[in-house]
Amino acid sequence: MKLKVCGMREVANIKSVLAIKPDLMGFIFYPKSKRFVDELSLDGINFGTTQKVGVFVNEPLDSLAEKVKKFDLDYVQLHGDESLSYLVAVKYLGVKVIKVFRIQDELPIAEILAFEQEADYFLYDTLSLEYGGSGKKFHWDILNESPSSKPFWLSGGLSIESLKALGLIDHPGLIGIDVNSKFESHPGMKKIELLRALKRSL
Average pLDDT, the chain: 93
The CATH number assigned to the domain holding 25 equals 3.20.20.70
Q: How far, CA to CA in Å, does 40 sit from each of 10, 87, 129?
A: 8, 25, 25
pLDDT digits over 33-58, tens only?
Answer: 999 998 899 999 999 999 999 999 99
- Over residues 16-21, the mean pLDDT reads 98
How far apart, in whole angstroms, are the C-alpha atoms of residue 137 and residue 197? 21
| Residue 56: domain span | 2-201
Largest CA distance in the chain: 44
- Over residues 58-69, the mean pLDDT reads 98
Overall domain count for the chain: 1
pLDDT digits over 81-98, tens only?
Answer: 999 999 999 999 999 999
- Over residues 91-119, the mean pLDDT reads 95
Q: What local confidence, expressed as pLDDT, does residue 123 receive?
A: 97
Q: What local confidence, expressed as pLDDT, does residue 129 receive?
A: 56
Closest CA relative to residue 132, chosen from 21, 34, 24, 15: 34
Q: How far, CA to CA in Å, does 117 sit from each of 1, 88, 89, 96, 175?
A: 23, 10, 14, 13, 18
Q: What local confidence, expressed as pLDDT, does residue 39 receive?
A: 86
